[in-house]
Amino acid sequence: MPVDDADLIGPRDTAYRLDLTPAQLKVTWTALKTFFDGLGHDEHDVRAVIGEVLEKLPSEHDIRAIDLDLERRRAR
């Protein structure tokens, strides 16, 4: 069955929203940054997309200020 282009998510449309706890945000940011840093120069398209995602997240300083131990204690 053919897909109508009107039903597709556009390249600049929001595809998904995600609510994260501070601990989840820190882990997500760290995983993306580690992945980004590990990519080679020939993977510029993936680096560009990951860079766009990282720009949407709080700054590195704000992320590093999240204390995972404290967040885990708060969750109990």
Give the pLDDT confidence of 30-50 residue by residue, as tens digits: 999 999 999 998 999 999 999
Residue 68 lies in a domain: yes
User: From start to end of the chain, where are the E strands?
Assistant: none
Residue 45 lies in a domain: yes
What value, to the nearest 5°, has the Cα angle with vertex 54 and ends 33 and 26?
60
- Whole-prediction pTM: 0.82
Residue 10 lies in a domain: no
Closest CA to 52 of 7, 11, 1: 11
* Domain, as residue range, for 42: 20-75
Backbone angles phi, psi at 17, to 5 degrees: -115, 145
pLDDT tens, residue order, the chain (76 aa): 566 777 789 988 999 999 999 999 999 999 999 999 999 989 999 999 999 999 999 999 999 999 999 998 888 8
Residue 60 lies in a domain: yes
CA 51 centroid distance within chain? 9
